[in-house]
Amino acid sequence: MSGEIAEAFARARARGEGALVAYAMAGDPDLPGSVDVFAACVEGGADILEIGVAFSDPIADGPVIQGASERALKAGSTLKRVLDEVVPAVRARCPQTPLVVMTYVNVVMAMGEERYAKLARERGVSGTILPDLPPEESTGIRVAFDKEGLELIPLCAPTTSPTRAESIAKDARGFVYCVSVAGVTGMRSELPANLSERLELVRRLSPVPVVAGFGISNAEQARVVGAHADGVVVGSAIVRAAQADGPAAARQVCADIKRGLKR
Amino acid sequence: METQTAPGRFGRYGGRYVPETLVPALLELEQAYAEARKDPAFDEQVSQVLREYVGRETPLTPARRLTELWRGAEVWLKREDLAHTGAHKINNTIGQVLLAKRMGKKRIIAETGAGQHGVATATACALFGLPCEVFMGAVDVERQSLNVFRMKALGAKVHPVESGSRTLKDAMNEAMRIWVSQVEDTYYVIGSAAGPHPYPTIVRDFQAVIGREIRTQSLVAFGRLPDAVIACIGGGSNAIGALHPFVEDKQVRLVGVEAGGHGLDSGQHGASLTLGTEGVLHGSRSLVLQDENGQIIEAHSISAGLDYPGVGPELAYLAKTGRLEVRTATDEEALKAFYLVSRTEGILPALESSHAFARAGDLARELGKGKHLVVNCSGRGDKDVATIAARGIPAAIGQEGA
């Protein structure tokens, strides 16, 4: 199943679109309810699903995803239950869509890196994003993931120097997640002016697709950013819509973003 | 024994587990700190402020009545409560704010639990003319109103944090989030010997002045090194500061006292060295209180400075290698020790330090006569009087005390 992520990007490109990586929180409002949200995102046009696994201390997240994390924990969400109950259900409903888990390193460490990698691949997860695991600390986990063919997707930040960006991009698996703003996840009314240059730089260096995320919440932002990247990640806007008005609202956000990603 | 096994590593512990956005800032800090340490002028600048402003060195006071009461080792108190602002925290904030100035940073942020670190940071910022913002759990804002006032009086802005357990760990999360968004011109002063590399090293180095003074003062006061040094441990900055200079002196027993809260069996405590498991919290790998799914468990202690579910990575390493002996004291034991020390020595210790005192009696008896025990009195108890008074003041305390 390795290469699923690459195929999803290729399919979007062939249709003349940027790819939409849609993030939602597994277990928000509850485990089965979140499956409906993920499926709705795919109906709305999401090309890759990013499955958030809650952590009690999410230092990379803003208030919207923090809130979702707290709700998911209250609903009994754990990494094990997400892999056992949410991932297979999403997989059954959206068999063509690659799944990527996003959580914090402590959650994976608690399960054990190797056990996680094996279980995640068995359940049909293609990749994993750990926002508090910079390259210096990732060697051990990468070995465990590579062994199972689970792609460890790296992040690149606005503060990352070009030399550092080069080494991050060169070693990337799956795709490079370019953080568009210095800050935490959450919607922004404006994105930095130099974002397009940074995206182009990382794209030149990276053997895998490059997406931008953090702060992107509407079609216009997706259009501007999508012109310089292979796709975008949208999280807080989907989480907020789903919390307020259910799966249909999440589908609507995805459809809107997808319109902005048409080339 | 060299505790630092690689840059930023203490055995398996330490490291730098933070969002990529922060990594360049931590690399910059690591380099700036390495350069500052090589510069004798910086060292002299810090020492001068500690002398002229903080009031160092702090005394090593003989605790004659406690010695008499406990009938064991001679007890000495390292009086960090007499440092300006009333706790050891000032040693570190003077150092870090001077470092921030040297790096050309424009503003300072900090997190605080009991408020002592917030007050110390606000003080250093006032002294050196930098704007200061302090993040503090909403629960702590309530129980530490005196320190909230002090911070505001010193010109700092205090942000109550409403997420999670609304205590120190959440204040630290929030400070990190704010730092991520303003990392270019903002310096984050971490108050404990925890957090991502290089903070555990920086904080330890600035706090090690406590242990260095204990060394020289012991030689003057009783002609040799102490037989044991005891300190309370939350995140562990006063402990690592007092203990680190003795790590190589195998004849000196190093003892740390964690918050036993309502008791280790109650699940409500702050004993991460005693009952924690390996994990990553606030940017470093250490021992943390967590469930089997890797979710951090909220810590509990009567002392706002000790209810932290993690601990600095160097202390975790010292505990795992057996160099550090770890004990616990419950809320009740700490309260008892508070009154005991107040009434026998005329010193109101902070509730944090009261945990160290709660185990100091046992240790003094274990050591026996002719030995010397130093208790790190990390801070004064004024900030805690509302919490303590709310429980009613006992007319008399048991003679066995703590």
Distance from CA of B164 to the nearest CA of A (A): 8
Show residues of chain B in contact with A137, CB under 8 Å. Answer: 15-17
Query: φ and ψ at A232, to 5 degrees?
Result: -130, 155
CB B230 within 8 A of CB B363: yes
Query: φ and ψ at B117, to 5 degrees?
Result: -70, -35
- B176 touches A: beta carbon within 8 Å: yes
State mean pLDDT over B358-378: 98
Task: Please give the torsion angle defined by the CA atoms of residues B137, B143, B146 and B150, in that order, rounded to the nearest 10 degrees.
Answer: 0
Show residues of chain A in contact with B281, CB under 8 Å. Answer: 57, 106
What is the DSSP pairing of strand B284-288 with strand A151-152?
Answer: unpaired
CA–CA separation, A235 and A233 (whole Å):
7
* Residue A190: predicted pLDDT: 85
- B143 touches A: beta carbon within 8 Å: no
Instruction: Give me the percent of chain B exceeding a pLDDT of 70.
Output: 98
Residue A57: closest C-alpha in chain B: B173
Q: Please tell me whether the peptide bond between B57 and the residue prior to it is cis, using omega within 30 degrees of 0.
A: yes
* Tens digit of pLDDT at every position of chain A (263 positions): 459 999 999 999 999 999 999 999 999 999 999 999 999 999 999 999 999 999 999 999 999 999 999 999 999 999 999 999 999 999 999 999 999 999 999 999 999 999 999 999 999 999 999 999 999 999 999 999 999 999 999 999 999 999 999 999 999 999 999 999 999 999 888 888 889 999 999 999 999 999 999 999 999 999 999 999 999 999 999 999 999 999 999 999 999 999 999 98
Distance from CA of A14 to the nearest CA of B (A): 32
Mean pLDDT of the residues in chain B: 95
CA–CA separation, A154 and B23 (whole Å):
13
Single-letter code of the amino acid located at B75: V
* Residue B4: predicted pLDDT: 79
Taking a contact as any Cβ pair under 8 Å apart, which residues of chain A between 49 and 78 contact chain B? Answer: 54-62, 66, 70, 73, 78
Show residues of chain B in contact with A58, CB under 8 Å. Answer: 173
- B310 touches A: beta carbon within 8 Å: no
Residue B280: closest C-alpha in chain A: A106
What is the DSSP pairing of strand B74-79 with strand B60-62?
Answer: antiparallel
Show residues of chain A in contact with B169, CB under 8 Å. Answer: 57
User: pLDDT for B128-180, tens place per residue?
Assistant: 999 999 999 999 998 888 999 999 999 999 999 998 888 889 999 999 999 99
**Catalytic one of A4, A61, A85, A151:** A61
Residue B196: closest C-alpha in chain A: A132
Give the count of beta carbons closer than 10 Å to the beta carbon of residue B370.
9
By Cβ distance, the residue of A56, A60, A156 closest to B296 is A56
Single-letter code of the amino acid located at B63: A
Interface mutation target, options B180, B182, B278, B293, chain A, most CBs of A under 10 Å? B293
Distance from CA of A191 to the nearest CA of B (A): 13
The verdict on whether B378 is a catalytic residue reads yes
By Cβ distance, the residue of A106, A181, A182 closest to B294 is A106
Residue B169: closest C-alpha in chain A: A57
Cβ of A57 and B296 within 8 Å? yes
* Residue B398: predicted pLDDT: 60
* Residue A1: predicted pLDDT: 41
CB contacts < 8 A, A to B, total 125
CA–CA separation, A122 and A112 (whole Å):
15
Task: Give the three-state DSSP class for A13.
Answer: helix
**Secondary structure letter of residue A60 according to DSSP:** T
Give the count of beta carbons closer than 10 Å to the beta carbon of residue A32.
12
Cβ of B280 and A105 within 8 Å? yes
Q: Radius of gyration (Cα) for chain A, nearest Å?
A: 16
Buried b (16+ CB within 10 A) or exposed e, B222-258: eeebbbbbbbbbbbbbbbbbbbbbbbeeeebbbbbbb
Q: Is B65 exposed, middle or buried (0-12, 13-18, 19+ CB in 10 A)?
A: middle
CA–CA separation, B15 and B10 (whole Å):
9
Task: Give the three-state DSSP class for A115.
Answer: helix
* Residue B402: predicted pLDDT: 46
**What's the complex ipTM?**
0.95
* Residue A36: predicted pLDDT: 98
**Catalytic one of A17, A50, A85, A230:** A50
By Cβ distance, the residue of A57, A59, A179 closest to B20 is A179
The verdict on whether B111 is a catalytic residue reads yes
pLDDT > 50? residue B365: yes
SS (H, E, C) chain B: CCCCCECCEECCEECCCCCHHHHHHHHHHHHHHHHHHHCHHHHHHHHHHHHHHHCCCCCEEECHHHHHHHCCCEEEEEEHHHCHHHECHHHHHHHHHHHHHHCCCCEEEEEECCCHHHHHHHHHHHHHCCCEEEEEEHHHHHHCHHHHHHHHHCCCEEEEECCCCCCHHHHHHHHHHHHHHCCCCEEEECCCCCCCCCHHHHHHHHHCHHHHHHHHHHHHHHCCCCCEEEEEECCCHHHHHHHHHHCCCCCCEEEEEEEEECCHHHCCCCCHHHHCEEEEECCEEEEECECCCCCECCCCCCCCCCCCCCCCHHHHHHHHCCCEEEEEEEHHHHHHHHHHHHHHHCCCECHHHHHHHHHHHHHHHHHCCCCEEEEEECEEHHHHHHHHHCCCCCCCCCCCCC
With vertex at residue B89, the alpha carbon angle to CA B383 and CA B124, rounded to the nearest 5 degrees, is 100
Show residues of chain B in contact with A60, CB under 8 Å. Answer: 19, 177, 180
By Cβ distance, the residue of B20, B163, B181 closest to A155 is B20
Q: Is B10 exposed, middle or buried (0-12, 13-18, 19+ CB in 10 A)?
A: buried
pLDDT confidence bin for B114, thresholds 50/70/90? confident
User: pLDDT for B204-244, tens place per residue?
Assistant: 999 999 999 999 999 999 999 999 999 999 999 999 999 99
* Residue B167: predicted pLDDT: 87
State mean pLDDT over B335-351: 98
Taking a contact as any Cβ pair under 8 Å apart, which residues of chain A between 131 and 150 contact chain B? Answer: 131-134, 136-137
| End-to-end CA gap in chain A | 29
* Residue B299: predicted pLDDT: 94
State mean pLDDT over B32-36: 98
By Cβ distance, the residue of B19, B22, B295 closest to A56 is B295
pTM of the model: 0.96
Cβ of A105 and B293 within 8 Å? no
pLDDT > 70? residue B388: yes
CA–CA separation, A212 and A228 (whole Å):
9
Distance from CA of A88 to the nearest CA of B (A): 20
Token pair belonging to B357:
């005192």
